[in-house]
């Protein structure tokens, strides 16, 4: 660890979706970060101030994050696929002073816009003094007196900047993630422990060597991008690929073409992507030379054994190690994962806690279940990259993670131990859905739905989906006093997309007359999940009106869209 990296070593091989490329060496990166740090300081950003970053997957995303870290400002990266409203609520909650964005980015073969969403959000956020705009696509953008071009300010700034020293507990970033209520929570991470664990795990779990070319396909808007594109790999002096676009643009072999082109040796991606490639067919990766790959990683959701084996055979040539890494936005870095060359793997299991990490599987009473048992995953000792709280909401931090069993961190995941003591993750046990590796809460989607004038009531569940892990299924009661057109379902899906972002669009919306409730008025999601997954209904005796379920099941056969 703490490598001696020469300035000439490539930090980032950037590949834009249209095929444009940039090579950023460590010396280039330092110069860019210094310049950006000078601009941030000139704009009045000080240690402890918050900066929102809403960018496509371009080097300026990493540069902006590091420039904040360099001056002790706290970044809050918001995934570029989130809507103006989602951006507004995040800027507002953190009271960000500056927003860094771009005119747009390339997605699915054409330029997509980002700046209009920022304009809409910033108009309602009095905390924001300035907006720094990277020119990526050259599209026409509206301009306000808060806006500054990156190329006119950062490019012209001095490359000299002295990094300031901060306490190891100085806040590094806030990253919003979905919890069990409608309002996303701002997970707070600090500097020293976070960097220690991201660098340590990136080095050991990927068995990093000097000549490696590493590629993590996540977006910097998620924690995987923070820890395993920006902080871990760059702290270790790794060379990595950063790709802007989608896997099927301009053809379905784009990722494998990139692996071949840059000689990628370490690849880190999500099970949803692997399942998508399986569907597209073995002949696509077979057209490319993937022999440079020597280790594959998986993250974000449980990986089914079929996908694990396909990944190893069709991408890894049959004999590479696979590391299935379990962790969360809250844990900051990997917690449970095999170590290549050390752990014998079982397809579908994340195996054991990494050295220094203490995890356990416990029952309802908080008692360890032991080999062969199933229950809840808990973390039983603190760890370096542990979240330090929820931004502005200490009570929610206590309630979410420490209320159930005060001696354990409650992860929110179900898990089982097999007879050999390997851990198998079974998905969330709370109201958080995992759709293509993205965390979305049922209540967040419900709130978005009921904010539409047509909707009286809504209940949302995550239904098992072969491709995306879970799919969002909504049950909606329309208001009787409103005239709903035939396109009500389409309107509502669009509305959720506007309120949160396209990733939260329900796969299916069913218009129903009633929702199944207990006598105390609680919606019985378990029954709705049974309906959404086409299962026979479980126990309905606690329902206030058991006949409701017949109505809903009938509705399902008509409600598919
Ligand atoms: C799930 C992503 C099974 C889990 C890094 C967790 C996984 C949530 C795995 C965190 C894995 C992540 N196997 N499930 N290897 N990795 N998860 O905060 O449910 O976006 O609680 O962090 O993803 O999602 P988050």
Distance in angstroms (rounded) separating the CA atoms of residues 191 and 488: 48
Is the Cβ atom of 412 under 6 angstroms away from ligand 1? yes
The closest of 156, 158, 155, 40 to 99, measured between CA atoms, is 40
Q: What percent of the chain has pLDDT over 70?
A: 96
Chain CA centroid to CA 256, Å: 23
Q: What is the pLDDT of residue 551?
A: 65
Q: Which residues touch 342 (CB under 8 Å, ≥6 apart)?
A: none
Distance in angstroms (rounded) separating the CA atoms of residues 98 and 46: 11
* Three-state secondary structure string covering 29-44: HHHHHHHHHHHHHHCC
Sheet with strand 98-102: strands edge to edge? 147-149, 130-134, 98-102, 50-54, 74-77, 171-177, 185-190, 389-390
Q: What is the pLDDT of residue 561?
A: 39
Distance in angstroms (rounded) separating the CA atoms of residues 89 and 192: 28
Is the Cβ atom of 224 under 6 angstroms away from ligand 1? yes
Asked if the 26-181 domain carries CATH number 3.40.1190.20, the reply is no
Give the Å distance between the CA of 304 and the centre of ligand 1.
14
Pick out the chain residues at pLDDT < 50. 557-561
Asked whether 273 and 311 are in contact (CB, 8 A), the reply is no
The listed CATH number (3.30.300.30, 3.40.50.2000, 1.10.760.10, 2.140.10.10) that belongs to domain 436-558: 3.30.300.30
Is the Cβ atom of 262 under 6 angstroms away from ligand 1? no
Q: What is the pLDDT of residue 548?
A: 73
Which residue(s) pair with 242 in the sheet?
14
Q: What is the pLDDT of residue 164?
A: 87
Distance in angstroms (rounded) separating the CA atoms of residues 486 and 145: 43
Is the Cβ atom of 447 under 6 angstroms away from ligand 1? no
Q: What is the pLDDT of residue 558?
A: 45
Within a 10 A sphere around the Cβ of 226, how many other Cβ atoms? 26
Q: What is the pLDDT of residue 58?
A: 98
Asked whether 443 and 190 are in contact (CB, 8 A), the reply is no
Probe target for ligand 1 pocket from 175, 216, 223, 439, with the most ligand atoms within 8 Å of CB: 439
Asked whether 452 and 492 are in contact (CB, 8 A), the reply is yes
DSSP assigned state of 322:
E
Is the Cβ atom of 82 under 6 angstroms away from ligand 1? no
Q: What is the pLDDT of residue 207?
A: 98
Instruction: State whether residue 496 is helix, strand or coil.
Output: helix
Q: Which atom of ligand 1 is nearest to the CA of 425?
A: 3
Is the Cβ atom of 179 under 6 angstroms away from ligand 1? no
Hey, what are 89's tokens?
């609520």
Q: What is the pLDDT of residue 179?
A: 82
Q: Which residues touch 424 (CB under 8 Å, ≥6 apart)?
A: 302, 348, 349, 350, 415, 416, 417, 418
Distance in angstroms (rounded) separating the CA atoms of residues 298 and 300: 7
In the chain, where the domains are located: 26-181, 436-558
Hey, what are 232's tokens?
């871990």
Q: What is the pLDDT of residue 48?
A: 98
Is the Cβ atom of 379 under 6 angstroms away from ligand 1? no
Probe target for ligand 1 pocket from 413, 426, 433, 441, with the most ligand atoms within 8 Å of CB: 413
């Amino acid at each position: 660890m703490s490598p001696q990296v020469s300035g000439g070593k490539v930090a980032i091989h950037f590949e834009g979706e249209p095929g444009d490329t940039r090579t950023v060496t460590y010396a280039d990166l330092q110069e860019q970060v210094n310049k950006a740090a000078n601009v941030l300081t000139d704009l009045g950003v000080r240690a402890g101030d918050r900066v929102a970053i809403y960018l496509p997957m371009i080097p300026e995303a990493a540069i902006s994050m590091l420039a904040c870290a360099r001056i002790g400002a706290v970044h809050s990266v918001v995934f570029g696929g989130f809507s103006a409203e989602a951006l507004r609520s995040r800027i507002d909650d953190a009271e960000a002073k500056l927003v860094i964005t771009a005119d747009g980015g390339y997605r699915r073969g054409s330029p997509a816009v980002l700046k209009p969403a920022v304009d809409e959000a910033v108009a309602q956020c009095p905390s924001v003094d300035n907006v720094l705009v990277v020119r990526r696509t050259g599209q026409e953008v509206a301009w306000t007196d808060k806006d500054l071009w990156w190329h006119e300010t950062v490019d012209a700034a001095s490359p000299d900047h002295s990094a300031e020293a901060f306490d190891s507990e100085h806040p590094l970033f806030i990253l919003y993630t979905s919890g069990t209520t409608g309002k996303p929570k701002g997970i707070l991470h600090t500097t020293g422990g976070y960097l220690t664990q991201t660098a340590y795990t990136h080095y050991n779990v990927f068995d990093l060597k000097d000549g490696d070319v590493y590629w993590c396909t996540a977006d910097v808007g998620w924690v995987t991008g923070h820890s395993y594109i920006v902080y871990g790999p760059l702290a270790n002096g790794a060379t990595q690929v950063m790709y802007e676009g989608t896997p099927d643009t301009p053809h379905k072999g784009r990722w494998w073409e990139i692996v071949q082109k840059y000689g990628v040796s370490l690849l880190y991606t999500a099970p949803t992507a692997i399942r998508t490639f399986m569907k597209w067919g073995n002949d696509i990766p077979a057209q490319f030379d993937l022999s440079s790959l020597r280790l594959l990683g998986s993250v974000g959701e449980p990986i089914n054994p079929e996908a694990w084996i396909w990944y190893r055979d069709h991408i890894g040539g049959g004999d590479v190690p696979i590391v299935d890494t379990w962790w969360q936005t809250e844990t900051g870095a990997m917690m449970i994962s095999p170590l290549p060359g050390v752990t014998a793997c079982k397809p579908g299991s994340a195996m054991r806690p990494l050295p220094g990490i203490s995890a356990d599987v416990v029952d309802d009473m908080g008692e360890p279940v032991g080999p062969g048992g199933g229950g809840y995953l808990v973390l039983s000792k603190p760890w370096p990259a542990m979240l330090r709280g929820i931004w502005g909401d200490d009570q929610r931090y206590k309630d979410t993670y420490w209320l159930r069993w005060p001696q354990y961190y409650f992860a929110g995941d179900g898990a089982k131990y097999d007879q050999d003591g390997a851990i198998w993750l079974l998905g969330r046990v709370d109201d958080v859905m995992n759709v293509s590796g993205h965390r979305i809460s049922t209540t967040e989607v419900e709130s978005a739905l009921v904010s539409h004038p047509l909707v009286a009531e809504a209940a949302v569940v995550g239904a098992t989906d072969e491709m995306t892990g879970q799919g969002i299924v909504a049950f909606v009661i329309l208001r009787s006093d409103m005239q709903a057109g035939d396109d009500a379902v389409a309107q509502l899906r669009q509305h959720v997309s506007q309120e949160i972002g396209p990733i939260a669009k329900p796969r299916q919306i069913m218009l129903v007359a009633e929702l199944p409730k207990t006598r105390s008025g609680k919606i019985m999601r378990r029954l709705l999940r049974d309906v959404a997954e086409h299962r026979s209904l479980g126990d309905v005796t606690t329902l206030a009106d058991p006949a409701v379920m017949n109505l809903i099941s009938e509705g399902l056969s008509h409600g598919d869209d």
